[in-house]
Every structure is written in C-alpha cells, then in structure tokens.
C-alpha cells in the first residue's frame, strides 16, 4: 500500500515518483475529464434523491452513464482548505502526478480551479506536469486586508492575474461571483483548442462554488429552492451540461471519458445556508461516517459505458488515477504500491471487485468497509470543547455511542454496521450475533494486511511561516500587486481534525 496522504487532491493526482514507467500508449486514447466538486454532498443531486431536484444536467449525465452509489473519497476533508497560507510545504518533487504521466501518451493537461497542493511557486501545477492552469492555489476565503494576510491570488499558468475579492470579486453579502462562469469558459476554450489540434487532453475541473463562502453568478442567484447553496449547485449543474453538450457538438463525446465526483461530504457545519446534503447518511465533512466520505459519482463515456446503469462497485477517488492511466493505455508504475483500482472492468463489463475502503482521519485508521459491512475502530465527531462552542458536524443527528465527542476506541471489538439495511449507521450489530462474528472474521485479516503493508507518508504540512504567504506571487510586479512579506519565522504547526 502506498503512503496514507492527508488530502483528497493528493490522492487524486499523485502517488507516483518519476521512475521508469511501463509506457505503452494506445493509438487514439480518449480524452479524460475529471469534474471535482468541493464540499458537495452525496445527497445534493436529484439523481441521489435531493427533493428539489435541481440538477437536470447531472441527472441526465447519470441517465446516459453509470452511477456509483458506493463511491468514496480518500479523506473526509481537503486538508489544504483547513491549512492556511502559512504552510511552508506542498507536493514533493518525488511524486509524479497524473498529468505528467499522461504526457507519455501525448496528452495536453489543464487544471481549472483550486489546486491546493502547495501555494509556493515550486509546488505549482506547471511544475508538476500540467501544461495550463487557471485558478487559485488556496481556498477562496477572505477578504483579507493584505496586511496581516494577503488575498489569495488567481493564476493563469505561472503568473498571477489578480486576487480574490479584488480583480475576482466575491460579494459575501449577495453571494455574487462570476468565478464558475470563468472556470466554465476556461474549460470550454481548452476543450475546443485541443480538439482543433487533434490532441488528447486531460482536464481537471476543480471548482469550488459549493465550498463556503458559496457563490453563484447573477443569472443563478435566487433561482434555487435551496437558497444560495442551491444557486451554486444550479450553476455547476448548468456548467456540466454545457461541457457535455460541447463534447457532443464537437463530435468527441464518444472519445471523452468524464467522471463527476466531490472531494468530501457536505459541510453540515455550514448548513443550511452554506452547506449541502449527505442524503440519508450520518454526519458530514470532517468525519469518517458515511456522510463524510461517500460521494456522488457519475461516469460518462457514450458508446462505451452503457447508459442508465448503476454499479455497486465500492469505488475510491484513488481509482481515478489508475483508471485514467488505463484509459490512456499506460501502466501504473511498478516501483511502489498503488492503492487505486482500475474501474474500467466495472464500467465497461459490469464486473465487481471485492475490495476494502479505508477511512482515515490524520494517521488513524478510523473505519473500514468490506462488502456491506462497515467496522468502526474509532468513533469521533469533534471535541466537546468545539461542540460546546456550537461547532456540530452532525446537526440533528445523535446516535448513542457512535457520534461521540471523545475519541472512543473500539479496536478490539469494532462497532459494525450493515450498510445495506442501515446506510445511516444507526443500528450497530450486536457483538453477540453470528452476523457480527462472521463480519469481523472477514474484516480482521484485511485490516491486518493493510496495516502490515502500509508505507507511512511524510508529513508535508507541519511547518508554518507567515513569510511564505501569497505576498508576492510570480507576476505580481506586472500588475503592481506585490505586497511586502514579514520577517521569516518558521515554526511548527498542526491542524486539529
């Protein structure tokens, strides 16, 4: 098993060092389009039961493609959104990202939206395999005063083109921002350009309108039954519809693999005005209950993936790495363990592979799902201290002994749930039941093997320094937007959840 990294985006994009690769590109590999939402929950799509049913384009994408109701992220939060600009570290050079590998099969690669693998220049997308970038290195928090803390820059490729709340305004009062429209245009333009050049492309569309502070452009504001969060969803849904329509119009739909998912469960702490829905599942972002890590997921590839299907394959966002390589006719590197599964057999032949899903929080293995059984080795929502301050990751939900506010150990006798009968994790199996013992007997060796094979990752995010913040990003001189950094004072830092 490869290192247990801390961030969803890391899992999605990296996990390879620049070693020799078994490269064997196919003649005309399909384009690959990953649509990664930010803090969108499993229950936010009509096709997943959202009562307002305001995602006609995504619902249609599912009707034309394959729905994965049991698809998971690798971590219940995108840690960078909780690690501020003081962070010194970022993606190490020893890791080789998906776009770098896809170059071996002739792909042009672009990231649109949030990067979050390090905001200092050496960590930027173009240093790690992407050909193009439009977006930000950090979350769109703010506005900041540019004194104690600079506003987050927006980049085109290697240079900044402005800052959030300045050249790229976000009106926190009205929720108005044109960012999704800008990200959409970047995507459409890139697709058209690559198509004209007859070049296969990899587009990573990492938009963040559903991450608090949620935003939408004027035509979408006030249009949702769900308030501003729903306005953001509607604009993203509309954008996905436009992207898929362009693929059809250009005649490349049958040669473009599109996958839609999200980076972690809905942030219930921001609900209902700034957070989404995890449907019938327990809790949300930050937790290792289903609401924190089960994601909406749709695969779309007309003419290849059969229309209107549902796959009960347990899937992971890490699989998108492996699956993308497989699509490109590339083999994963052999110099390290790879956790991702190639989902093409599930997508193309309806094949199901028995595999576990691991739920981590920091370095702690909190839970595992195998088949329909989920075992919790640790339970924890957040601390009593936080909870008493009104920070609630499970509003309205309270399962005695399960949604605990202290870190409860169950490593000897895990809490086991049957996710088919009890997707909401409300009714732990009796430890005296035969069903419990059978489930535990199957789970135990899988966890043992995982723990024995695990290669711990190197922490990258535990040194801070206010001097490394986005004071003077590349390109700031041309814009006259350079700020003066404070004195360099490196210090150890850590992040609670």
Q: How many CA atoms lie within 13 A of 242 on its CB side?
A: 17
395 sits near a second copy (criterion: CB under 8 A): yes
225 sits near a second copy (criterion: CB under 8 A): yes
282 sits near a second copy (criterion: CB under 8 A): yes
CA separation, residue 165 to residues 150, 161, 354 (Å): 11, 13, 47
Give the interface segment with a second copy, choosing from 138-146, 330-338, 396-404, 473-481 (CB under 8 A). Answer: 396-404
280 sits near a second copy (criterion: CB under 8 A): yes
> Are 285 and 269 spatial neighbours (Cβ–Cβ below 8 Å)?
yes
Site string for a second copy, 422-461 (x = CB under 8 A): xxxxxx----------------------------------
CA separation, residue 88 to residues 53, 163, 459 (Å): 42, 20, 12
Please state, as a whole number, how many other Cβ atoms lie within 10 Å of the Cβ of residue 103: 17
Is residue 39 part of an annotated ligand binding site?
Answer: yes
In the set 29, 30, 46, 99, which binds a second copy (CB under 8 A)? 46
Nearest-approach distance from CB 218 to a second copy, in angstroms: 20
Whose Cβ is closer to a second copy: residue 22's or residue 420's? 420
Is residue 464 part of an annotated ligand binding site?
Answer: no
# binding residues, a second copy (CB under 8 A): 44
Select from 415, 414, 394, 416 the least CA-distant residue to 405.
394
E-assigned strands of 408-465? 408-409, 415-418, 463-464
Q: Which two tokens stand for residue 442?
A: 């199957």
29 sits near a second copy (criterion: CB under 8 A): no
Give the interface segment with a second copy, choosing from 64-72, 317-325, 376-384, 458-466 (CB under 8 A). Answer: 64-72
69 sits near a second copy (criterion: CB under 8 A): yes
Whose Cβ is closer to a second copy: residue 433's or residue 488's? 433
User: Exposed, middle or buried by CB within 10 Å (0-12, 13-18, 19+), for 32?
Assistant: buried
Which residues have a catalytic role annotated?
78, 116
Q: Verify cis geometry, omega within 30 degrees of 0, for the bond prior to 272.
A: yes
Select from 305, 253, 258, 327 the least CA-distant residue to 98.
327
Q: Which two tokens stand for residue 472?
A: 């003077």
273 sits near a second copy (criterion: CB under 8 A): yes
Whose Cβ is closer to a second copy: residue 134's or residue 380's? 380
Chain centroid to CA 268: how far? 17
Q: Residues comprising the binding site for Ca(2+)?
A: 38-39, 78, 263-264
Residues annotated within a binding site: 38-39, 78, 263-264
Residues at the interface with a second copy (CB under 8 A): 43, 46-53, 63, 67, 69-70, 224-227, 229-230, 271-273, 277, 279-280, 282, 310, 312, 372, 395-399, 418-427
């Amino acid at each position: 098993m490869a290192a247990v990294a801390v961030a969803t985006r890391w899992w999605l994009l990296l996990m390879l060092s620049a070693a020799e690769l078994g490269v064997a590109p196919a003649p005309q590999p399909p384009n690959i389009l990953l649509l990664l939402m930010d803090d969108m929950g499993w229950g936010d799509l009509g096709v997943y039961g959202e009562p307002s049913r305001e995602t006609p384009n995504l619902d249609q994408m599912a009707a034309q493609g394959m729905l994965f109701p049991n698809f998971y992220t690798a971590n219940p939060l995108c840690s960078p959104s909780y690690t501020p600009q003081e962070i010194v570290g970022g993606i190490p050079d020893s890791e080789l990202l998906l776009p770098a590998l896809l170059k071996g099969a002739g792909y042009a690669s672009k990231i649109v939206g949030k990067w979050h693998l390090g905001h200092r220049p050496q960590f930027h997308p173009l240093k790690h395999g992407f050909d193009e970038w439009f977006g930000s290195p950090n979350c769109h928090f703010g506005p900041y005063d540019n004194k104690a803390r600079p506003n987050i820059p927006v980049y085109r490729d290697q240079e900044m083109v402005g800052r959030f709340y300045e050249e790229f305004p976000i009106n926190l009062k009205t929720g108005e921002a044109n960012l999704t429209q800008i990200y959409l245009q970047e995507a459409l333009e890139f697709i058209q350009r690559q198509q004209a050049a007859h070049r296969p492309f990899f587009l990573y569309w990492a938009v963040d309108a559903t991450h608090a502070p949620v935003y939408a452009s004027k035509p979408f504001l006030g249009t949702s039954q769900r308030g501003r969060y729903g306005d953001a969803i509607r604009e993203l849904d509309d954008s996905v519809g436009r992207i898929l329509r362009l693929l059809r119009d250009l005649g490349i739909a049958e040669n473009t693999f599109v996958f839609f998912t999200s980076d972690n469960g809905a942030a219930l702490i921001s609900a209902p005005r700034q957070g989404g829905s995890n449907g019938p599942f327990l809790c949300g972002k930050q937790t290792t209950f289903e609401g924190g890590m089960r994601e909406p997921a749709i695969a779309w590839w007309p003419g290849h993936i059969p229309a209107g299907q549902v796959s009960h394959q347990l899937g992971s966002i890490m699989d998108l790495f492996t699956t993308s390589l497989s699509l490109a006719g590339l083999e994963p590197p052999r110099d390290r363990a790879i956790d991702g599964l190639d989902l093409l057999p599930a997508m193309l032949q309806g094949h199901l592979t028995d595999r576990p899903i691991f739920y981590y929080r920091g370095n702690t293995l909190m839970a595992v799902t195998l088949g329909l059984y989920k075992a919790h080795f640790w339970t924890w929502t957040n601390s009593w201290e936080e909870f008493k301050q009104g920070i609630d990751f499970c509003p309205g939900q309270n399962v005695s002994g399960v949604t605990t506010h202290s870190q409860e150990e169950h490593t000897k006798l895990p809490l086991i749930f049957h996710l088919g009968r009890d997707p909401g994790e409300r009714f732990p199996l009796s430890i005296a039941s035969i069903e419990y013992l059978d489930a535990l007997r199957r789970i135990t060796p899988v966890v043992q093997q995982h723990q024995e094979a695990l290669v711990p990752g190197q922490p990258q995010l535990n040194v801070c320094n206010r001097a490394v913040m986005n004071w003077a990003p590349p390109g700031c001189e041309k814009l006259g937007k350079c700020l003066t950094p404070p004195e360099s004072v490196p210090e150890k830092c850590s992040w609670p959840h």
